[in-house]
Amino acid sequence: MDQTGTSPSPDPCRQLLRHTLATLAYRGAKALRGAPPEFATFSACGRTPAQILAHVCDLMDWALSMANGEKKWRDTQPAGWDADVKRFFASMEKFDACLRSTAPLSTPVEQLFQGPVADALTHVGQIAMQRRLAGCAIKGENYLLADIAAGRVGEEQRPPKREF
C-alpha cells in the first residue's frame, strides 16, 4: 500500500517517478508555504514567482496529457498565488493517480521524468531561491531525512525532521 491506500503499480520505473513527484510536492510545499502576498510579484531575475508557479502547473498538466497520449501544452497566466498553489497540488494528484494505475502510459516514464518533472524540480528550486532574494527565505533542510512517500503529493506534507 502507498500513501493513497491503494496498491501501487508493480512497475519500478513508475514507482520511482511517483516518489519523485512526492519529492517535488514536499519541496514545493516548503517553497510555497507562508510566502507573503507581495512575493508573488517579486522580480529579481526574469519571471516572477507567480509566473514560475503557473509554469510548473502547466508542466504537470502537460505530463499528465502526455501520459494519456494527448501531448497538449497550455501556457497559462498566473491565476493568483493561492489559486495556483491549489492548482499545483491538484495537478500533482491527478498525475500521481495516473502513474499509480496499471493503465499503459503513452509516453515512456523516462521521458516524463527528463522533460516536465525535471523542469518542475528546477523551477521549484528557483522559487525557493527567490524567497531568499525577496527577504522571506525558507529554512534549509536535510532532505535525505525528510518523510517523503510515493502518493503523498498534496499540500499537506509531513513536518521537516532536520532544518537548519
Q: In this predicted structure, what is the pLDDT of residue 44?
A: 83
Contacts of 123 (CB under 8 A, 6+ apart): 52, 55, 56, 59
pLDDT means per 10 residues, the chain with 164 residues, are: 66 97 98 97 93 98 98 96 98 98 97 98 98 97 98 97 95
CA 94, CA 108: separation in Å to the nearest integer?
17
Strand partners, 141: 163
> Domains in the chain, please, with CATH?
12-145 (1.20.120)
Residue with cell 497550455: 74
Q: In this predicted structure, what is the pLDDT of residue 150?
A: 98
Please tell me the pTM assigned to this model.
Answer: 0.93
Strand partners, 163: 141
The closest alpha carbon to 129, from 23, 46, 57, belongs to 46
CA 74, CA 89: separation in Å to the nearest integer?
17
Transcribe 122-152 into DSSP letters.
HHHHHHHHHHHHTT-PPPPB-GGGS---TT-
CA 113, CA 130: separation in Å to the nearest integer?
24
Q: What type of residue sits at position 142? A: N
Q: In this predicted structure, what is the pLDDT of residue 9?
A: 59
CA 55, CA 78: separation in Å to the nearest integer?
8
